[in-house]
Amino acid sequence: MEKQTTLKRDKKALLSYLAVEEIGDDHISSGRDTPLRPNAFEASDNEKIEKIEYHFREIMSTLGLDLNNESLAGTPLRVAKMYVKELFSGLDPKTKPKITLFDNEYNYKQMLVEKDITFFSNCEHHFVPIYGKAHVAYVSSGKIIGLSKLNRIVQHFAKRPQVQERLTEQIAHEMQNALNTGDVAVVIDAKHMCVSSRGIKDADSSTITSFYGGKFSEENMKNEFLKFLSL
């Protein structure tokens, strides 16, 4: 029985390896929702930190690093805390920003643009950084939100293992839902360390993705938005 279990596990690992080799460095996405297990939030943050610390210690040891060294001894715990509390905190629904709507008392009917929102994320294919600028805009349907909430929406979805296409869609749809309007635009310009530090090792290229909803899909509105981004 134990031998059969081992063979099944080895076969599964081989199939997984072959699938990864076939995909290679192709940039693939799997829909707008972040792929999560149904029981993703059953474990507490402390339990997750404990497990990640153990496994990262094993990774470092496998690489041949001496974990008795004073400089390395605390690294597994530091990494575990960073993963759960910082880099990937956007996975937890509890960290989603609370959105309060206000009446559009000034009756402002033009687009509102928040540009150059700096964000840091991580590529879900290699777990290395994605970083860049997000530019967002909306036209009020009668309600507005505080400007800082736009930044917080970007940061929340960036703090996950991501692909840039999904990040763009998640920000846009969250804005549409929060503001009760389809008139939303998002442009992201970012660098991917999986491109610049490994693989092709192109340090100069960047990736641009966009979303234009409602009025922003009209050519004149889109052009006005893009003009603001060039100022």
Is the Cβ–Cβ distance between 122 and 161 less than 8 Å?
Answer: yes
Our answer to whether residue 123 is catalytic in this structure is yes
Which listed residue (53, 124, 165, 174) is catalytic?
124
164 annotated active-site: yes
- Is residue 124 part of the annotated active site? The answer reads yes
Q: Which of 27, 50, 114, 125 is catalytic?
A: 125
Helix (H, G, I), strand (E, B) or coil at 42: coil
Catalytic residue among 27, 126, 173, 224: 126
- Tokens describing residue 210: 């966009």
Give Cα separations from 62 to 57, 65, 66 (angstroms).
Answer: 9, 7, 10
Residue 173 is a catalytic residue: no
> Choosing from 53, 123, 169, 176, which is the catalytic residue?
123
Cα–Cα distances (Å) from 140 to 11, 115, 143, 192, in that order, read 55, 17, 6, 33
**SS3 of residue 12 by DSSP:** helix
- Our answer to whether residue 165 is catalytic in this structure is no
Which residue in the list 155, 162, 164, 170 is annotated as catalytic?
A: 164
Whether 55 is catalytic is: no
Catalytic (active site) residue 125: yes
Give dist(CA 32, CA 174) in Å, integer: 11
Q: What is the CA radius of gyration of the chain?
A: 21
155, 169, 170, 194: which is the annotated catalytic residue? 194
What element of type H or E holds 136?
A: strand 129-139
Which residues are part of the catalytic machinery? 123-126, 164, 192, 194
